[in-house]
Amino acid sequence: SQTIHQWPATLVQPVGSPLSLECTVEGTSNPNLYWYRQAAGRGLQLLFYSVGIGQISSEVPQNLSASRPQDRQFILSSKKLLLSDSGFYLCAWSGLAGLTDTQYFGPGTRLTVL
């Protein structure tokens, strides 16, 4: 069966510091991968998605970037964090487009920028 991991689970960072959040998927090949952010009391906003290694699409302009160095690894980064980057970050995966649109989420990372 497929599993998705995210780390760290929680993170407190000062403004201006760098960020690296990691997501890995097991039990599937060539998944579509996604990064979402949930701000306090809000819905889920899609930040990035990837359909393959090195292929990244950005949904909203922001202070963050994403990379996919391996098939089942998705990384969310920032060079300098802003206060507004605080939130709950979720990674998700789905099967090949056309087979299923269901996305499955990881446990999330709570990021607090102070």
Partner 1 sequence: DQQVKQNSPSLSVQEGRISILNCDYTNSMFDYFLWYKKYPAEGPTFLISISSIKDKNEDGRFTVFLNKSAKHLSLHIVPSQPGDSAVYFCAASDKAAGNKLTFGGGTRVLVKP
Q: Which string of b and e fits 57-89 if b means at least 16 CB within 10 Å?
A: eeeeeeebebbbeeebebbbebeebeeebbbbb
- Footprint of partner 1 on residues 10-49 (CB under 8 A)? 32, 34, 42-46, 49
Considering only residues 59, 70, 77, 84, which one is a binding residue for partner 1 as defined by CB under 8 A? 59
Q: Is 103 in the site for partner 1 (CB under 8 A)?
A: yes
Q: Is 105 in the site for partner 1 (CB under 8 A)?
A: yes
**Rounded CA gap, 89 and 110, in Å?**
6
Binding site residues, partner 1, CB under 8 A: 6, 32, 34, 42-46, 49, 51, 59, 88, 90, 92, 94, 97-98, 101-108, 110
